[in-house]
Structure formats: C-alpha cells, structure tokens
Structure 1
Amino acid sequence: MRNQQFAATPTGGQAAFPVDDSLLTQDLYQAVNGQWEAQATIPGDHSSTGGFMDLVDNIEKTLMHDFDALLAGDLAPANAEMGEFKKFYALARDFKQRDANGAAPLKPLLAKIEQLTSFADLNAHLADFYRAGLPVPIEVGVDPDMKDTSHYALYVDAPSLLLPDKTYYEKDNPAAKQLLPIYTQMATKLLTMVGYSDTDAAKLVDQTKQFDALIAPHVKSSEESADYVKMYNPRPLKDVDAQTDKLDLAAALQDLIHDQPETVILPQPTYFDAIGDLLSDANFPLVKSWMLVRTVTAASGVLSEEFRQVGGTYGRALSGQKEARSQTKSAYRLATNYFDQVVGDYYGRKYFGETAKADVRQMVLKMTGVYQNRLKNNTWLSADTRKKAIVKLQKLTIKVGYPDQIDPLYAKFTVDEHASLFANTQRFDELVNADQFGHWGQPVDRKRWDMSANTVNAYYSPSNNEIVFPAAILQAPFYSLKQSSSTNYGGIGAVMAHEISHAFDNNGAQFDEFGNLHNWWTEADLAHFKDLSKAMITEFDGIPFAGQKVNGKLTVSENIADAGGLSCALEAAKADPDVDLRAFFINWANVWRMKATTEYMQLLLSIDVHAPAKLRADVQVKNLDDFYTTFNVQPGDGMYLAPEKRVKIW
C-alpha cells in the first residue's frame, strides 16, 4: 500500500453486561468485558465477534433488507449509479445462472496466459495484462509522489506472497507447514474444476509455490513495511528497466500512460535487485504457472457456488472461520465491494445525514482545538518544532460522514445483464485500472475518499494530511446522544484524537502540513521523539498473546496514536463540568471488546500494525495518572505501572 492510511480498526461493543468492580485494578478489559466474553459465541462464518462485528453485521442486515426492497421494486434507485448497482446485485444473487456458467466465463482469460510460451510473449502483451489486472511479476501503479503530493508518481512494486508474511517462510515458523498443504489442496481442486487434469493441476500448483518461494527472500515483512517512509525509494526508470532483459517496463508504461517518467518509486528495491535472476528463461514455466494459479484463485469468488466454497478454503484456514458465508451474504459483500462508494452514499444520506455530519465535524474541530492546546503546552518540543506542529494541525483536512458527491468513476459502471457476473466484474476491474493509470499527468484529487461511508472504521492519510470518519463508526458505543459526554469521549473522542495523533506518530511525523515527506523537526527534537517511540516499542514488545508475542516495532505507530488519542480525549472529557472518568475509561475498554479464533489472533499478530484489542484497552491506560486515581490502582495491582515506566508522548 503506497498512499497508506493509518486506521483505528475499532472493535467496540455496547456494554450489556455489568462491570466487575473487583477486577478494575487488575485487568480493566476483563472487568468490563469478561462476562460478555464468557458467553459470546463466534458465528461459524466469522473469525471474530464483538462490538465492531456487531456494528458491521447490523449495517449489513439493514442494507440487505433495503436492497431486497430495491430488487423487488419497492425501493426506487436514488440515482443512476444505484440503478446499475441493482442490476449487478441481481447478477451476484443469481446462483442458478452462476452455477450454469461454471468455469466458462474464466476460460478466455486463462487462454491468454496459456498461449504464452516465453517472456517475449508476455512482454508483447504486458500493457494489456496490466489493464486487465492479471497477475504479473512486476506490479505498477499511480499514486501521489510522497515528496510532492500535488503530483502523481509511478510506483513499481513486487507481487504479494501466498503466505501472509515473509516471516512465514522462515524454517522455524511452523505455520507454513500447516497452511501450504491447505493452499495446495484448494488451488489443485480449483484447477481441476477449470478443466486441468489432476497431473497438470498438481504440476501448476507446485511450480507456483516454487516461484513464490523464490520471491519471498526479496520482499519486505510486515514489520519492515510498517516503516512507511522507507517505501520511498526513487530510481531512474532506465536503471529499473536495465535490471532485466525479459520485460520492457518502459515500453509498457508508454502504452499505459503515454509517457515515460524519468523516475519511478520502488517500495521494495531489494526485489528489483534480484529481478534479473528471478526472471530467467529457466524460470518462465514457474512464472506462467504462478500467473495461471493466481488468476484462477482470484476469480473463484465470482463464479459458481462450488468455486466460491472451494476458493475460500485457504482464507478460512488462515482466520479460523469455520464455514463460508451464505450465498446471500456473499452476494451482498461482492456487490457492495464493487459499488462501495455508491452504497456508502446511500447509507450516509439515509442513516446519517447532513445535520449529523455538521454536528460531528464540530466534535472533531473541538478535539483538534484540544490537541492544539496540548501542543502549545508541550514541554519537550523546541519552540520551532512546536510552531510547525501546530501549523500542520491547523492545515489538517477533516472529512466526516460521506463525500459530497459520488466518484465520477462509478458513472462508468454500466452492467450488461446478458453477460456473466464474471464478465461484468472483469470490465469493472479494467475501468478501475484505466482510471488509476489515467491519473498520470492530472492534478491529485484530494477530495477522494478511500473508505465508503458504510465502513466501520476511520483513517489518517499522511500524503493528504487528512482524517476521515465514515458515517458507520459514528454510532454507539462510540458516539450517541444517549451516552454521557465522558462516555462519548472514551469512545469516539479517543478515535478522533487517535487519527489526529497519526499526524505525529513515527511515520506521520515525517510528513509536513501539505502531506509531503519532509523533515520539519530540529535534530534534537527528532532524536528525543525517537527515544520516546522506542519506549513505546518496549512497552508492547514481547507481551504474550494467543500463544505468541506482540511485535512492538510492527505496532508502534498505532500504539503512539492510541496513546495520544486517549490522553487528548481524557483532557477534553475533564474540561466538561459533568466529567465522569469512570465512564470514560470503561467505554474505552468497552470499544475494544473482541473475541476471535486463535488462528485469526495469530494472523493479526504477524501482519497487523495494531496491537491486540485487549492490550489496546489495558496497556494504554497504565500510562495515564488519572487512571490510577479514578480506580485507586496501587503498586502490586495488575494494572499498576511504575511512574518512570509510563510512556507519555502526546
């Protein structure tokens, strides 16, 4: 991910169970959520449950009900884009036709790969493969230049791995021994369903794994990728092109964007240092098999029911999900993913509205005011750095609820009701790719949203210096007029300040008020900030969880944002004459309510930049003096942390 967002990924839930006061000084999360957790059951088609999933499920239930009415003709489409969504949703739900089509819609695409006999063949079709979104061993994309975000740059990247992270390929990691056989069985089965013989299918999958294993040593781990700034590695295009004589990247880019930029950005330069060896004639059969297998697995969710069930096997194993979603839920997810901003516009306008948008925006402005006051009174920043931090905060763009307009791209999403579901999705993918490549040479669109309004989340974008709060998160337990102000501050207030804090975490702090990668710190201030960041790494690193340990380096940016968000929200709550710090801290723990499968928790520990939900609730409050006075936490208590070990940054 190049224009990375740092998201809250909240997992909250409305408190429906009494707080166990006897545990408040020992384990805040358990005191608030223990009784709920004891009776909570993870649905078979989920890998987790809790308040976050409750909100997601409730929105899904609401919108599925509305869209049933839409299909029945009882609800009129609000706009032309919604009319096309209706047609597409009908296609997605027509499993009878999907079953009748079987693998036939996919075969023409596979034939394009099958016909390749050499890298010269692939090179001749390289631009077309990029347009179609087919897997190739060099990925390209157009995103704002991290050092000049008013202009777009070309990013040239490595492909993703079969296993979740580079660390899974290490000899002492037992997960690969469990997961690769499942992937092998799934992919082999899918290939036989497409029409390959058992022998050919087995060979194709084996060669895919061989090429994947060759890639793995040369790409970044999740921990390495979490250091976002190190993704910015500009190189002359001619030098990247010279790394291999098998693919002419410059010619493909000329075809795609009608230009050849002098410089491209390499998020993973080590991969391109090795590309000459990877793309050898001897490896072409491996690359071709890899392309075929990845194409089939990617398409499985939009073909027949059997393809959908088999194609989800590996993902369910990764997350511990016991069963596939129902047909109706899967059709809803598929349709709303393709028309996400269209559905978000409908949801935001119907269930949130302009009045709520204005009200919440005022809340965010209030939180930025509190944050600005904290920066002014900061004791460890020099005057110069403090002044520039305040300028960055004042330039922060705030987006609440839903965009003012639907992205014009969706006006191009016209559905051919006589074509297959797969054919329509393929055309949409091509439109999305064309839109991205079409950004080249155009001004950067800063009005664009990277989350739809029906998404229960929030994010900060360092390249835009903006915070975004979709409508879906702006409800209980995060925010409600029925909740006290202290409860709301412990929920949505902390989330808002969390996103503001990302502008000043270890990654965001390296971008200026315009979103450009630019150091605005004095040398001494930056050194001190890095020391504070190391203290946050130490506070979380190595904490046992789900049979593994937390990676403090992987989670440091989110932990800094949690700490800043919680302390800022606490200050805002204390300014209210009706302050109730018990309610504040209890809702903070409540919004991280989550019960998940062991497999899912272990997966997140390997790849997620967020600490486990329970630890986000428990560890951060230990850094706040008010927590100790609110619950009379004493030395020897489970929630006690010695004053000299408490991490305070923002």
Structure 2
Amino acid sequence: MTQYPVNEKILKDDLYMAVNGEWLKTAKIPADKPATGGFFDLADNIEKTLMHDFEKMAATDTSIPDPYLTEAVKYYRLASDFEKRNATGYAPAQQFLKTITDLKDLADWQAKLKDLTFAGYPTPFPLSVEPDMKNTKVYALYADVPNLILPDKTYYAPENKQAPALLDIYRKMVKKLFKLANYPDDFAEKTIEMAVAFDASLAPYQKDSTERADYTKQYNPYSFADFKAFSTEVDLGAYATAITASKVDKVIVTEPKYYAALNKLINKETFANFKSWLLVKGLLAVSHYLSDDARVIAGEYSRALSGSKEAMKPQKAAFYLATSQFDQVVGLYYAHKYFGEKAKNDVHHMVEKMVAVYKNRLKNNTWLSQQTREKAIVKLDTLGINVGYPDELTPIYKKFKVDETKDLLTNDLAFTKIALADHYGRWNKEVDRSRWEMPAHMVNAYYNPSFNIIVFPAAILQAPFYSLDQSASENYGGIGAVIAHEISHAFDNNGAKFDEYGNLKNWWTDADLQHFEKLAQAMIDQFDGLDTEAGKVNGKLVVSENIADAGGLSCALEAAKADSDVNLRAFFINWARIWGVKASIERQQLLLSIDVHAPHVLRANVQPKNLDDFYTTFNIQPDDKMWLPAAKRVNIW
C-alpha cells in the first residue's frame, strides 16, 4: 500500500480520507479479490512469495527442507496438474456422489450416518468436539446447525431485495455443475429446487449473525437423554455414541430452537428434499478438486457475494488448495524463513509492555469495585502470549501422506477421514492448549477466551502494522493497538464472561456488571445506524470488536506517550493507515450483514474521537466534523 502525504485540509473532518484518500483514488482491486489495502496487501505479498517458493520446490524435491513440507508440495503438484484434472473430469467424484443418490430412505441414511460423517458428507445436525466452555480442561461434544445457502437468516425475510438474485446465481451455478457431472437437466432442476426448499425450511429456526455475536449463549448443555429426545425420527443418541465411540453424558447445543424443530425438519416426508440438499452440497464440495471448469463454476456464487470479478488463475487456486490443506506446515516454513528472531523478541516485548499498561489501567480504574478489579488483574496475569509461530507442528500433519498415483480428490477425501477421526477422537480428553487456530503466514491475530491466550502470527508483524524501520509511535498506532485490541477481547462483552482459566464463569459484582453493560450499550449506540456507502451499521452486531478497538487504541496511546520520542500525530495517522481498504460494494454489503467488525473507515474515524489526546494533537474544534462532544465519548478500558 503506497503511502501518500496526509491531506491537511480535510484531516479535521475525516481522518481516514486525509490519510488514505489519495491512495484510494488510484488503488485497484485485483480481479480475483474482493478488496485491496491494509491486511490484504500483506496477504498478497505473502501469496506471491510463497507461490514462487512452491513453484521452485515443486520442480525438485532436493530444495524442500522438511518431510511435512514435502507432502504439501506433492499435494500442490497434484492440484497444479490441470491437464490430468481436466482429463478425468468428474470421474473421481462418481462414487462419492453415488453414495448420496443411492440412499433409499431415512433409515438407510441413519444406518450409514457415522461412515458418511467421517467421509466428510454434510449433516443437518453437525456435531463437533471443542473445549467445554465451563470446564476447558476437557473436550466436550457440541451440536451445531448447518450453514444456509444465503449468508444469514435475515436474507430469507420477504423484504430482502438481494436474496432472489443471489438464489438465481446459486441455481444456475449448480445446474452447470450437474451438467458437467453428466446428470440429466430435468433431474438437476428438480434436485436444485428441492435442495433450495429444504434450505429455506431450516432458516426460521436458526439464529441470525447478531444473535450469534453473543457467543456465550451457545452454551446450552443437555443430558444425553434430553439430547436424544429432540428427535423421534432419527436416533441422535446412536449418532453421538457412534462418532465418539463412547457413551456420551452430555451434549452442548448451540441453538436449542433449531434442535427443537428437528422432527419437523427431518422426517420421512422431508427426506426427498433433504437428500437433494445433501447431493447439491456434496456436488459443490467436490467440484473444487476436479476440472478447471468445475473449479471456476463452483466459485460463481461466492464471487457474486464478495464482488470478485474473476476466478483465481489455475496455479494460484492450486496453491491455495495446498496451503489450506497443509496450513500449519506452510506457516512454519514461512515463519522460519522470513520472520526474524529479532522481530519476534521485539514484538513479544511490546506485548508484555501492553499487558503492563493494561494492568496499570485496571489498577487505576475508577468504575470497577476492588473485588472485580482484582479478579480482572488475575485474568490479565494469567493471559498467555504467543508470537510468530508455534514451537511444534500439530501432530495430525505427520499422518498426511500424499499418494501421487491417485487423483487430487481421492487424496483430499483420505485426508478428510484422517482429520475427522482425529477431531472426534479428542472427545473427553484433555484439551491441547498448544494448538494454534491460525497459521503463521495468515495476516491476522486473535484472542481465545477458552484458553485466555492472545496470538499474533508472524504475517501481521510487518509494515504498516509493525516495522523495525518505523518509529515507536507508528508501531504503537499499528501493531500496538492490534495487540491491545486482542487483550481487550478478554474484557469485551463476551470475553468478560470467562475467568482466568477460560471457563465461562461470572467473576463480576452485580453493580460492576450493570455499569459495564451500560458502557457497552453506549458503544452500541455510538455505531448503530451510522451510514456507509453500503448501508447502515448494526451497532449490536459489532459491539464486541468495537469495545476491543476502543480499549486497544486507548491502551496503545498510553504506551506511546510513555516513550521518550513520542509523536502522537504519527500514532493516529498510522492507526488510520492500517485500516486503509478499498473493497467491492458487494463485499461491503455482505460484511454489514454478517461481520462482527465495523467497516474499516469507521474503525479509523470513530475510535480516535473518544480520546482527548486526539483533539489536542490535531487541534480539533467543535465546528470540525471529527469533533464529538465530551459527553458522547465512550471510554471503557
């Protein structure tokens, strides 16, 4: 992302445009991407670097530094062999799809359900194994809901204007895939309509994105007997027992309203629609591993949602297939080759410094009681810090062996069985807290409330977020604010409900919690209804990330001010710069509906308005558009 001079004339009215406006005039979104700038530019650069390396390694095994990366390169070779993929077409998927079309009835499906699950087929009641929210030492069984065709439940409302056009694109895409797979047109059309009808039947019983944003409400434990009682049409108990190979004592149901409707959704009368839904989902899943035509067609709907103009070129698509299958392997390769130990140590020191700043702010907090404040500090003292990359490779990758005599899909399905067996095999075992949820080459960061840990992959530790060549103030306005943002998630409206061990437990006094909820509501009100070119912001959907942004920027500001060479102008300008993004209108509209993050321009502009130092740094006055009356400024952490 090219840095242009700041436009001083508009800085007091629009910080985001003052910093990013000139860049936005000339920035071009890649045809195969929905956005450019900020995080995206870093990801694009890493993509180019790793694609170059993979091409080189694919040409000869002698340059590959470890056996696990060797398997990733073998997989890449298979993915890159479009001559073979085009020649075989849908032949590798015939048995996978036939397994679905051969299903006779609900009883037949139930009898085969365990094998279907381990083979990667979708189910209308997906079970997964995750840390028990109230006892994060062990893995528990969760019952979730399947993904809908449209992005969110709200799209199924009669007044939604986008839904008909999106469903039309979806139908046409799937019909093309059926044709490639040599299914008759009349069969394809009937199957698609039945699948769409089944999908629509699920929507009324699911939560929308705003409801799901309060993720602690996913914790609804049911006894084994009560879980079984959700359906008299299918044996949920037998299914849970089969995939865990054990007698399950409880199941945590994320959306009880959906499970209470299972008899209505899955029964003998709905089986034909359900079977069609299975076939359409299965067809879409395998198409990405077959011919190039199938790959391109199978992405039409997602490109319509995101606004990407073109499909990725074949080699790039092959690269992403390989790196997604071996993501942690590729991450370690990237980190060891391109991420220096000096930078890792420097950033780790910065994280420790931000934790110390946060701790000091908690000690001096004026609205928390002593009791709650002490428990918050205990949680902060227990916070785990991971920077750069994990110490060891996740063991599952040692089981992935590519058979180059077989096709890409066959290898992928074999890996799916290995991965799912490993996943369900964790049930009731001790939680492995060393697992990273992101690979080191991903430009992102996260806080895990169940582990009470913050993680910063190597890829994000680059300019404009962080650089040894940037001033300390610039780094604090970039990676410093990101670090403190992740720390703040431990104390946002969701994270604050977990204790220092990551267990869902209330450690607040009633009065403190009520005051915190009022502050959270003020943050909701500050963003709710704000206009963007794509529509209005839903303040409730984005509240947790906004609390983290506000806390992150405020704490990073305090850290920057403690530096002997502090430059608050550089601090705020780099904060605005890291959010410089140009995105398609389709992507913006989609994110407004489903994303828990506020639009980039608002992240850049609104949060500084809550800080008194912003006004003194730039001499912001009441008649400037960046002015916010003191009574409306929201400060939580």
> Which TM-score bucket, shorter chain as reference?
over 0.9
Distance 2:341 2:472 in 1: 22
How far, CA to CA, are the matches of 1:33 and 1:158 in structure 2?
40
- 1: CA distance between counterparts of 2:240 and 2:160? 39
| Structure 2: distance between partners of 1:78 and 1:441 | 36
Structure 1 equivalent of residue 351 of structure 2? 364
Task: Choose which of 75, 79, 87 in structure 2 pairs with 1:92.
Answer: 79
State which drifts further: 112-121 or 388-397. 112-121
Structure 2: distance between partners of 1:638 and 1:460: 34
1:438 to 398, 401, 425: 425
Amino acid at match of 2:438: M
Partner in structure 2 of residue 318 of structure 1: 305
| Correspondence for 1:616 | 603
1:180-579 correspondence to structure 2 within 5 Å: 180-579=167-566
Q: Confirm or deny that 1:120 pairs with 2:107.
A: yes
Instruction: Tell me, yes or no, if the aligned pair for 2:140 and 2:428 is still in contact at 8 Å.
Output: no
Which residue pairs with 2:134 in the alignment?
147
Pairwise CA distance, 1:104: 0.8
Residues 66 and 75 of structure 1 are in contact (CA less than 8 Å); yes or no, is this contact kept in structure 2? Answer: no
Q: Does 1:590 align with 2:549?
A: no
Q: 2:149 matched to which residue of 1?
A: 162
C-alpha distance in structure 1 between counterparts of 2:497 and 2:366, whole Å = 20
CA contact under 8 A between 1:69 and 1:75: conserved in structure 2? no
Letter in 1 for 2:293: E
State the secondary structure of the residue aligned to 1:57: helix
* Secondary structure, aligned partner of 2:127: strand
Looking at structure 2, the residues matched to 547 and 278 of structure 1 have their Cα atoms a distance apart, in angstroms, of 35
Which range is displaced more, 526-535 or 105-114? 105-114
Aligned match for 2:96, one of 98, 101, 109: 109
Q: Which residue of 2 aligns with 1:70?
A: 57
Q: 1:394-449: per-residue Cα shift (whole Å, max 9, x none)?
A: 00000110011111100000001011100111111111111110111321000000
Whole-angstrom CA distance in 1 between matches of 2:541 and 2:369 = 29
Aligned match of 2:615:
628
Output the CA distance in 1 between the equivalents of 2:427 and 2:563: 49
Aligned equivalents of 2:407, 2:149: Cα separation in 1:
28
TM-score by length of 1: 0.97
Partner SS, residue 154 of structure 1: strand
What per-residue deviation string (whole Å, max 9, x for no partner) do you get for residues 455-475 of structure 1? 000000000000000000001
Amino acid corresponding to residue 110 of structure 1 in structure 2:
L
Root-mean-square deviation (CA), in Å?
0.9
Shift of 1:235: 1.1
**Which ranges in structure 2 are unaligned for 5 or more consecutive residues?**
none
Write the deviation string for residues 294-318 of structure 1: whole angstroms up to 9, x where unpaired.
0001111111001011101000000
Distance 1:252 1:630 in 2: 62
Cα offset for 1:369? 0.4
**What is the rounded CA distance, in whole Å, between the counterparts of 2:340 and 2:61 in structure 1?**
22
Q: 1:116 Cα shift?
A: 0.8
8 Å CA contact retained: 1:589, 1:618: yes
Deviation track 1:103-127 (CA, whole Å, cap 9, x = no partner) reads: 0111101111111111100100011
- Tell me the equivalent position of 2:628: 641
Rounded Cα–Cα distance in structure 2 between residues aligned with 1:31 and 1:438 = 53
Comparing 303-312 with 189-198, greater Cα deviation is found at 189-198
Q: Which amino acid aligns with 2:231?
A: T
CA distance in 1 between counterparts of 2:275 and 2:408 reads 26
Deviation, 1:74, is 7.3
Partner residue in 2 for 1:5? none
Partner of residue 48 from structure 2, selected from 61, 64, 71: 61
Measure the CA separation in 1 of the matches of 2:145 and 2:388: 35
Q: Is the 8 A contact 2:61 2:70 kept in 1?
A: no
Q: Deviations over 1:17-73 (max 9, x none)?
A: 110011111000000000000111111111101122111110011111111111122
Unaligned stretches of 5+ residues in structure 1: 1-12
3-state SS of 1:629 partner: helix
Higher relative contact order (CA closer than 8 Å, sequence separation 6+): 1
Which amino acid in structure 2 is aligned with residue 231 of structure 1?
Q
Find the residue that maps to 2:540 and give its secondary structure.
helix
8 Å contact kept, 2:343–2:468: no
Q: How many residues align?
A: 637
Determine helix, strand or coil for the equivalent of 2:269. helix
Does the CA contact (< 8 Å) of 2:534 and 2:588 recur in 1?
no
Residue identity matched to 1:510: K
Q: What is the identity, as a one-letter code, of the residue corresponding to 1:383?
A: Q
> How far apart in 2 are the matches of 1:252 and 1:491?
48
Match of 2:508, SS state, is coil
Inter-partner Cα distance in structure 1 for 2:514 and 2:25: 45
- Aligned partner of 1:26 among 13, 18, 23: 13
Matches of 1:482 and 1:238, distance apart in 2 = 61
